[in-house]
Structure 1
């Protein structure tokens, strides 16, 4: 997403209004994309505005509901090629890893588990 949309594009949008809404409602802006070599299904949308107190595990549950995955498949999220703890609030992950455009970019991948 960040490669196909430049920072200049987002600067052209009324960012003051956008970021004020984010700050007032204590939300985190996340761009979620499928990892390059993943066989996980694609999401119908990539941009999410989520509550800052949402954890990585809760986000995983929400994303898992949006894609049709078999029960024996696990879903993993990566931020800057690292795996954040599932109990970590997204606000903490955002503070540590957000980009200069103030978005948090996450990728997801699936893996077969339980001997499947």
Structure 2
């Protein structure tokens, strides 16, 4: 799938809205991660339901690294086409946070910087969490130092 197709077709990349599940919404400045906000059983049930309903999509949670200087992303849950590359997904994240072209962004999975040509399906297969979501962290600098 080309990036143009993924971005021009509203059904190809789906942003999943959050339902208020905790007090985190009342304190938007708090640094709670998705795992801290939602219990394991609930995350597992949601990921299972999503994967059953959308077998060609990957449920991804994207969060900013704690001390990063780039803007925070508003929507953290995404359903990503399995054949999208990490580079194409980085483009989506950059657009969501309105990052200027001269600023760098790094996306980490389990503190590792995967290759931009890697398919999201391959990254998911090797790195999905026990709850069924694929967790990614982004930063304006290579904070973890591993390639």
Q: TM-score, normalised by structure 1?
A: 0.85
1:60 and 2:93 are equivalent in the alignment: no
Secondary structure of the residue that 1:64 maps to in structure 2?
Answer: helix
Shift of 1:4: 2.0
Partner of 2:138: 108
Distance of 2:126 and 2:94 partners within structure 1: 24
Distance of 2:60 and 2:44 partners within structure 1: 17
Secondary structure of the residue that 2:104 maps to in structure 1?
Answer: strand
Distance of 2:121 and 2:51 partners within structure 1: 15
Q: Which runs of 5+ in 2 are unaligned?
A: 1-33, 142-147
Shift of 1:93: 0.3
Partner of 1:114: none
Structure number with the bigger relative contact order (C-alpha 8 A, sep ≥ 6) is 1
Structure-2 change in CA distance of 1:74 and 1:16 (3 Å): closer
1:30 and 2:60 are equivalent in the alignment: yes
Partner of 1:20: 52
Q: List, as ranges, runs of 4+ consecutive aligned residues in structure 1 with deviation greater than 4 Å.
A: none
Q: Which runs of 5+ in 1 are unaligned?
A: 112-116
Shift of 1:57: 0.2
Distance of 1:50 and 1:12 partners within structure 2: 18
Aligned length: 108
Secondary structure of the residue that 2:106 maps to in structure 1?
Answer: strand
Q: TM-score, normalised by structure 2?
A: 0.68
More strand by share: 1
Shift of 1:110: 1.0
Shift of 1:17: 4.0
